[in-house]
Chain A
Amino acid sequence: MDRVKINVNGADFEVDAGQNVLSACRSIGVEIPFFCYHERLKVAGSCRMCLVSVGTPARDRKTGEVVKNEDGSVKIAWLPKPSIACGTNVSEGMHVVTDSDAIRQCRGSILEFLLLNHPLDCPICDKAGECKLQEYANAYGNGVSRYCESKNVKPKRREVAGKIILDSERCILCSRCVRFCEEVIGRPIFGFTKRGSKTEISVYPGGDNDSNYLLNAVDICPVGALTEKAFRFQMRAWFLRTARSISPESSAGVNTTVWTREGRIYRVTPRDNEFVNDSWMSDSGRYFHIGRGARLSGARLDSSACDLPYAIDRCVEILRLSNFAIVASAFQTVEEMFLLKALAKAAGAPVYMVSHLGEDDGFLVSADKTPNLRGAFVTGLISEYPPDNLSALAEKIDSGEIKTVLCFDEDLKSLGLGSAHFKKANVIFCSSVENSSAVGAKVCVPLEGEMEKGGIWINRQFRMQRFEAVVERPKWAASAVEFLSQLLCRIGGADFETPDVGLLRSVIAERVPQLKGCADIPDCGTLIDASAFAGVKFPEKAAFKFDPASVGANGG
Chain B
Amino acid sequence: MAIVVERKRLNFFERLYLPQIVSGLIITLKNLFRPKVTLSYPDQRPTLPDGYRGGPTLVKDSQGRQKCVSCQLCEFVCPSKAIRVTPGSIDPDGEYFYIEKAPKEFQINMLRCIFCGMCEEVCPEKAIVLQDEFTFAAQSREEMIFDKQRLYEAGGTLPDKIMKWKRVKDNADLERDSH
DSSP majority for the A interface? Answer: loop
Nearest chain B CB to A69 CB, angstrom units = 54
Task: Provide the residues of chain B in CB contact with A194, threshold 8 Å.
Answer: 179
CB distance from B115 to the nearest CB of A (A): 24
Which of B72, B124, B176 touches A153 (beta carbons < 8 Å)? B176
Contacts of B87 in A (CB 8 A): 233-236
Assuming the A-B contacts A122-B124, A124-B100, A153-B172, are A239 and B92 also in contact, with contact meaning beta carbons closer than 8 angstroms in the complex? Answer: no
Contact (Cβ within 8 A) A155 B176: yes
Return the contact of A239 from the options B72, B124, B171, B172 (Cβ within 8 A). Answer: B72
Report yes or no: B69 in contact with A123, Cβ–Cβ below 8 A: yes
Give the shortest distance, in Å, between A159 (CB) and chain B (any CB). 10
Contact B179 A233 (CB under 8 A): no
- Please indicate the chain B residues that have their CB under 8 angstroms from the CB of A198 in the complex: 179
Flag whether B79 is at the interface (Cβ < 8 A): no
Interchain CB contact under 8 A, A238 and B76: yes
Q: How many residues of A contact B (CB 8 A)?
A: 18
- Interface of chain A residues 276 through 297 with chain B (CB within 8 A): none
In the complex, the answer to whether B76 meets A123 with C-beta atoms within 8 Å is no
Chain B residues within 8 Å of A38, by CB: none
B70 interface hit (Cβ, 8 Å): yes
Q: Mark B86-101, 1 if CB is under 8 A from A, else 0.
A: 0111001000011111
Q: Which residue of A lies closest to B71 (CB)?
A: A123
Among A122, A123, A128, A153, the most chain B Cβ lie within 10 Å of the Cβ of: A123
| B6 interface contact, C-beta 8 A | no
Of chain B, the residue at the smallest CB distance from A167 is: B100
Whether B92 contacts A157 by the Cβ 8 Å rule is yes
Closest-CB distance, A366 to chain B (whole angstroms): 36
**Chain B 60-97: CB-based contact to A (< 8 A → 1; otherwise 0):** 00000000011111011000000000011100100001
**Residues from chain B with Cβ under 8 Å of A233 in the complex:** 70, 87-89, 100-101
Interface residues of chain B: helix, strand, loop or mixed (majority)? mixed
Q: Is A232 an interface residue (CB 8 A)?
A: yes
A156 to B100, CA, bound (A): 10
Are A124 and B175 in touch, CB under 8 angstroms?
Answer: no
CA distance A235 to B101 in the complex (A): 12
Interface membership of chain A positions 227-256, coded 1 if the CB is closer than 8 angstroms to chain B and 0 otherwise: 000001111101100000000000000000
User: Which residues of the partner chain B approach A157 to less than 8 Å between Cβ atoms?
Assistant: 92, 97, 100
Beta-carbon contacts under 8 Å, A115-171 to B: 121-124, 128, 153, 155-157
- The interface residues of chain B lying within 8 Å CB-to-CB of A236 are 71-72, 76, 87
Complex-state Cα separation, A308 to B106, whole angstroms: 38
Q: Map CB proximity to B onto A336-370 as digits: 1 under 8 Å, 0 otherwise.
A: 00000000000000000000000000000000000
Contact present for B175 and A153 (CB under 8 Å): yes
What's the nearest-Cβ distance from chain B to residue A117, in Å?
12
Distance of A124 Cα from B73 Cα, bound (Å): 11
> Given A157-B92, A198-B179, A232-B89, A124 and B76 touching (CB < 8 A)?
no
A239 touching B73, Cβ below 8 Å: no
A193 to nearest B CB, angstroms? Answer: 10
**Nearest-Cβ distance from residue B29 to partner chain A, whole angstroms:** 62
User: B143 near A: Cβ within 8 Å?
Assistant: no
CB A220 to nearest CB in B, in angstroms, measures 23
Interface residues of A in 84-123 (CB under 8 A from B): 121-123
Interface: B25 (CB within 8 A): no
Give the complex CA separation of A13 and B69 in angstroms.
49
B163 in contact (CB, < 8 A): no
Smallest beta-carbon distance A556→chain B, Å? 47
B171-A153 in contact (CB<8A): yes
User: What are 21 A-B pairs at a CB distance below 8 A?
Assistant: A123-B71, A123-B101, A123-B124, A123-B125, A124-B71, A124-B100, A124-B101, A153-B171, A153-B175, A153-B176, A156-B100, A157-B100, A194-B179, A198-B179, A233-B70, A233-B87, A233-B101, A235-B72, A236-B71, A239-B72, A239-B76
Chain A residues with a Cβ under 8 A of chain B: 121-124, 128, 153, 155-157, 194, 198, 232-236, 238-239
Beyond the given A123-B71, A153-B176, please list 16 additional residue pairs across the A-B interface where CB-CB is below 8 A.
A122-B71, A123-B69, A123-B101, A124-B100, A128-B71, A153-B171, A155-B176, A156-B100, A157-B92, A198-B179, A232-B89, A233-B100, A234-B87, A236-B72, A236-B76, A239-B72
